[in-house]
Amino acid sequence: MKYGHFDDAAREYVITRPDTPLPWINYLGCEAYFGLISNTAGGYSFYKDARLRRLTRYRYNNAPYDMGGRYIYLRDNSDGKFWSPSWMPVRSALDEYTCRHGMGYTIIWSISNQIEAETRYFVPLGENLEIWELTLTNKRNKTADISAFSAVEFCLWDAWDDSTNFQRNFSTGEMEFVDDVIYHKTEYRERRDHFAYFACSEKLNGFDTQREAFLGAYRGWDSPAVVEAGESSNSAAHGWQPIGSHHVKVQLKAGESKKIIFILGYHENPKDAKFDPPDSQTINKHKVKPIIAKYLQVKNVEAAFVALRDYWTELLGKLQVNTPDEHTNRMVNIWNAYQCMITFNMSRSASYFESGIGRGMGYRDSNQDLLGFVHMIPERARERILDLAATQLINGGAFHQYQSLTKRGNNEVGSGFNDDPAWLVLAVAAYLKETGDWVILDAPVQYENEDGSETPLYEHLQRSLQYTLDRLGPNELPLIGRADWNDCLNLNCFSDTPGQSFQTTTNKDGKVAESVFIAGLFVLAAKEMAEIAGHRQEAGETTKMQQAAAQMEATIWKSGWDGKWFRRAYDDFGHVLGSKENTEGQIFIEPQGICIWAGLGVEDGRAELALDSVAKYLATPHGIVLLQPAFSQYYLHLGEISSYPPGYKENASIFCHTNPWIMIAETKIGRGDQAFDYYTRINPSKREEISELHKCEPYVYPQMIAGKDAPTYGEAKNSWLSGTAAMNFVAITQAILGIQPQYDGLEIKPVIPSGWQGFEVVRHFRNVRYEISVSRKGAGNIVSLVVEGKPVPGTIIPLPTWDVRSLKVTAYIGSE
Ligand code: GLC
Ligand code: GLC
């Protein structure tokens, strides 16, 4: 069953009923001011950091769910009937409804009581504000007398404190209401130099800033007393819960339309110009007033919206494909790329499943995410790389997380996730291949953000890999530390105390437990490093890295190969995990993916054996599960992985992030049908038709789908913020469609389904527009290239001279 449909031409998903199985959300903002918005106008806004600069409140995990949002109430003043044109929070039936989630905007449209209401929500580029542009149309054949009420509930900035520290917070709230604009200025009197404002384009009939005055005691957002009465109470908040609500009365003739603009924004004043007059406690509004005035005008709103659409056209235009499969086209051209950009902006901080107060920017996560967005925003990717590297520890290790506001490593979580460092090498390699910006390697970068500690970025990469080599265990495999990619495989934790963090509690000295996954990752990264060193003519380093990779491969074959698949790890007792010797956790997906991606077994058939084992033991119609058999109980020596009931999360769910590694591995051994089949199984667009089971948004990847051991097999969770976005993007565009940026040019090396006769791609790469047409001559994956009519040997299109702006390429695949 579906709850809407894709509108690919508009780059929108159109939800056609409000009661989706879960709130189906979208994001507003792409620079500093952000918001989450659901299909019923739920969600919240923040400036840069979802925890520390939260503008509005949202009640996570509440009943009904999705409470708190950007609400508009409409009231028919002739009979007192009121409703929410976004359905929530009043939830009275709407005659018609659609929610169009687009690139950085959401439009909720409905008709009720013969009043059509369309609200377009978005954040203009370059501004720290959001616009709600409401268009009301009277569909009756007589005049309508309508009241519109807006409503937001302000958060007292630190979202964690806001939801816990009531003894203080109920006494700190402060507001101003000046020239019809509502200003939220809690803590502005002391150490904050920022405030929020909420303005409306119309002459107001009234306003409210105290929540209980607006709602009425013991009432909810579904029936505010003020809306019911049709009159604002003009309340001023002093402590308690500050809100913002405007009341606008409109008379609409039959068929008449009217636009009402609301803007909600964030503003910072210079520390020495906070107040006006200077010796008062009143916000200095000189700088913010012109901004407000600008966006209360319809023409400026329209221009800002057009600019936003152009921005996305430009970003998505970097890579557009036309394949025989509509699900592939729509994900690659629109939604998967968009999701990659959202992971760039949010990391794992704010979604329907991430509360915005928990996690900083993950080091591993951010490096991996980069693989999915580097082609769209190379300059910002560069900055991200330098930020990440500057948090690196002097020993090559990494803080597991860092804070987006301060860009500093997070001491509470610390380091010791022994896979973290290697991801930086893969991120930098992806960046170099995309841009050819070799000078980045000479950029001086600090360690732990300490002045004076700078070394060239190149040395950071060397230290990252040395970190692994310095930490080998009894089998010469890398020590796992707190965890590797699988945050829940905690082999040194041994936690028997409820509430202890599995990931940061280590009760073992960590000198025994080893990870085959890190070994595979090391091979992949060391091979990249060898190539990078080669480009810099550092022959010694090249050889060193090649040897280190070869040595690690030998170790994997010696201690990490189980006969039919790669093993997973050795625990603190030196016992193997992910082996036929185990009764549970016999086979894990991660080492199969990463080792084969790194090239292991590709030539000698062992990769094929491992992938056949994946197909046999792990693949399901809903995707590939993480391991089998699932852990049936909690094992002290395995940690969090066994804390989850079978089929969920790391304990044998379809952990979508890992599936593309298998797709990539399948393409390494030339099996395009199998790779694409796996791609399709978890493709959200393809799963749209089972939305009542899948539950999450059909336009973005979830982190997990419940595995075959779970009672809710096939049900997705944790949509949006997951490395799944970047990895699937890489798998489909680079491995299956085979459009791979390389150090020396764009490589075309498709491994597509045997039934595909070809496909087309437009790819912007290093300032050249490549128009690529791939066409099948016969079976197999052999490629012959014709560039501008001339045959070119190999699979890489050599970089053209500087004056060339576009190239036409035909790639023939298969043999006649
Ligand atoms: C989450 C984390 C990611 C980790 C994965 C597996 O998605 O964000 O860093 O690799 O879980 O545990
Ligand atoms: C939990 C989750 C895992 C995630 C980790 C992040 O362990 O199961 O997926 O990576 O938290 O801290």
pLDDT tens for residues 488-545? 999 999 999 999 999 889 899 999 999 999 999 999 999 999 999 999 999 999 999 9
One-letter amino acid for residue 64 of the chain: P
Query: What tokens appear for 605 in the block?
Result: 């058939």
Single-letter residue type at 319: L
Residue nearest to atom 10 of ligand 2 (CA): 487
Find where tokens 């056949």 sit.
Answer: 612
> Are 119 and 240 a contacting pair, CB within 8 Å?
no
Task: Tell me how far the alpha carbon of residue 486 lies from the centroid of ligand 2, in angstroms.
Answer: 8
542, two tokens: 């090249």
Check pLDDT > 90 for residue 405.
Answer: no
pLDDT of residue 410: 87
Q: Does 486 sit in the ligand 1 pocket, CB within 6 Å?
A: yes
Tokens of 705: 């789908």
Nearest atom in ligand 1 to 655's CA: 6
- The 3-state DSSP class for residue 100 equals strand
Find the 660 Cα to ligand 2 centroid distance in Å: 19
For ligand 2, atom 12: residue with the closest CA = 487
Identify which of 364, 367, 487 to mutate to test ligand 1's pocket (most ligand atoms within 8 A of the CB).
487
Ligand 2 atom with the smallest distance to the CA of 487 is: 10
Averaged pLDDT, 138-148: 98
CA angle, 674 then 680 then 686, to 5°: 160
Query: Which of these, 401, 523, 536, lies nearest to 459 by C-alpha position?
Result: 536
Closest CA to 697 of 674, 724, 677: 724
Q: Are 619 and 645 in contact (CB under 8 A)?
A: no
Q: What is the DSSP letter of 611?
A: H
Return the structure tokens found at 323: 């394949």
Report how far residue 288's alpha carbon sits from residue 471's, in angstroms, rounded to the nearest whole number.
54
Q: How confident is the model at residue 816, as a pLDDT?
A: 80
From the alpha carbon of 655, which atom of ligand 2 is closest?
A: 9
Q: How many CB atoms neighbour CB 72 within 10 A?
A: 23
Rounded to the nearest angstrom, the distance between the alpha carbon of 322 and the centre of ligand 2 is 36
The amino acid that residue 71 corresponds to is Y
Pick from 378, 147, 330: nearest CA to 248: 147
Identify the helix (H) or strand (E) that includes residue 266: strand 257-268
Distances (CA, A) of 94 to 98, 112, 116, 227, 259: 10, 5, 10, 18, 20
| 472 close to 407: Cβ distance less than 8 angstroms | no
Helix, coil or strand: residue 233: coil
pLDDT for res 164: 97
| pLDDT score of 430 | 98
Helix (H, G, I), strand (E, B) or coil at 14: strand
Ligand 1 atom nearest to 487, measured from its CA: 12
**What pairs with residue 131 in β-bridges?**
122, 263
Helix 457-469 and helix 516-535, axial crossing angle in degrees, nearest 10: 150
pLDDT for 381 equals 98
Distance between CA atoms of residues 428 and 425, nearest Å: 5
Looking at residue 577, the DSSP 8-state letter turns out to be E
DSSP state of 640: G
Is the Cα dihedral 291, 293, 296, 297 positive or negative? negative
The type of residue at 52 is: L
331-358 residue pLDDT tens: 999 999 999 999 999 999 999 999 999 8
Question: Encoding tokens for residue 306?
Answer: 């057009």
Q: Ligand 2, residues 487, 501, 505, 590: which to mutate, most atoms within 8 A of Cβ?
A: 487
| CA 724 to centroid of ligand 1, rounded, Å | 10
Ligand 1 mutation pick, 365, 521, 625, max ligand atoms within 8 A of CB? 365
The stretch 702-716 carries a mean pLDDT of 98
Per the DSSP assignment, residues forming a β-bridge with 174 are: 238
The confidence score (pLDDT) of residue 810 equals: 98
Nearest in space to 663 (alpha carbons), one of 714, 619, 713: 619
Q: Which two tokens stand for residue 13?
A: 């998903």
Instruction: Determine the 3-state secondary structure of 328 from DSSP.
Output: helix
From the CB of 485, is ligand 1 less than 6 Å away?
yes
CA distance 630 to 120: 46
Indicate if ligand 1 lies below 6 Å from the C-beta of 650: yes
Tell me which DSSP letter residue 438 carries.
Answer: G
* CA–CA separation, 485 and 481 (whole Å): 11
DSSP three-state, residue 608: helix
Q: Which of 253, 355, 262, 319 is nearest to 46 (CA)?
A: 355
Q: Which two tokens stand for residue 594?
A: 């990463």
624-638 pLDDT per residue, tens: 999 999 999 999 999
Whole-angstrom Cα distance, residue 379 to residue 434?
11
Residue 162 Cβ contacting ligand 1 at under 6 Å: no
Q: Which amino acid is at 577?
A: L
Give residue 243's pLDDT: 98
The per-residue pLDDT for 447 is 97
pLDDT of residue 412: 83
Q: Which of 153, 180, 181 is nearest to 169 (CA)?
A: 153
* Residue predicted with more confidence, 644 or 403: 644
Ligand 2 atom at minimum distance from 650 CA? 8
Instruction: Give the mean pLDDT of the chain.
Output: 97
Under 8 Å between Cβ of 14 and 27: no
Ligand 1 centroid to Cα of residue 255, in Å, is 53
pLDDT digits (tens, 9 = 90+) for 582-604: 999 999 999 999 999 999 999 99
Distance of CA 775 from the midpoint of ligand 1 (Å): 38
**Parallel, antiparallel, or unpaired: how do β-strands 115-122 and 105-112 relate?**
antiparallel
Yes or no: say if 438 and 382 are a contact pair by the CB < 8 Å rule: no
DSSP notation for 772-789? EEEEE-SEEEEEEEEETT
Q: Write down the residue that tokens 């389904």 correspond to.
A: 753
**Closest ligand 2 atom to 358 CA:** 12
**DSSP state letter for 403:** -
Determine the straight-line distance between the first and last CA of the chain, rounded to whole angstroms.
43
How many beta carbons lie within 10 A of that of residue 755, not counting itself? 10
User: Long-range contacts for 282-288 (Cβ within 8 Å, ≥24 apart)?
Assistant: 282/176, 283/176, 283/183, 283/185, 283/188, 283/195, 285/178, 285/183, 288/197
Tens-digit pLDDT profile for residues 717-734: 999 999 999 999 999 999
pLDDT at position 403 is 84
CA of 161 to the centre of ligand 1 (A): 26
Output the furthest CA–CA distance in the chain (Å, rounded): 85
Preceding amide of 684 cis, omega within 30:
no
Check residue 407 and give its pLDDT.
86
pLDDT > 90 fraction of the chain, expressed in percent and rounded: 97
Of the listed 487, 562, 572, 709, which one is catalytic? 487
Q: Are 236 and 163 in contact (CB under 8 A)?
A: no
Confidence of residue 571 (pLDDT cuts 50, 70, 90): very high
Q: Does 488 sit in the ligand 2 pocket, CB within 6 Å?
A: yes
Q: Which residues contact 807 (CB under 8 A, 6 or more apart)?
A: 768, 769, 770, 771, 787, 788, 797, 800
Q: Is the pLDDT of residue 359 over 90?
A: no
Catalytic residue status for 180: no
Q: How much is the pLDDT for 358?
A: 80
The answer, yes or no, to whether any atom of ligand 2 lies below 6 A from the CB of 133, is no
The yes-or-no verdict on residue 169 having pLDDT over 90 is yes
- Helix/strand/coil for 713: coil
d(CA 696, CA 673) in angstroms, rounded, equals 27
Please tell me the predicted confidence (pLDDT) of residue 371: 98
CB proximity list for 243: less than 8 A, separation 6 or greater: 151, 152, 153, 154, 208, 209, 210, 211, 214, 237
Contact yes or no for 517/569 (Cβ under 8 A): yes
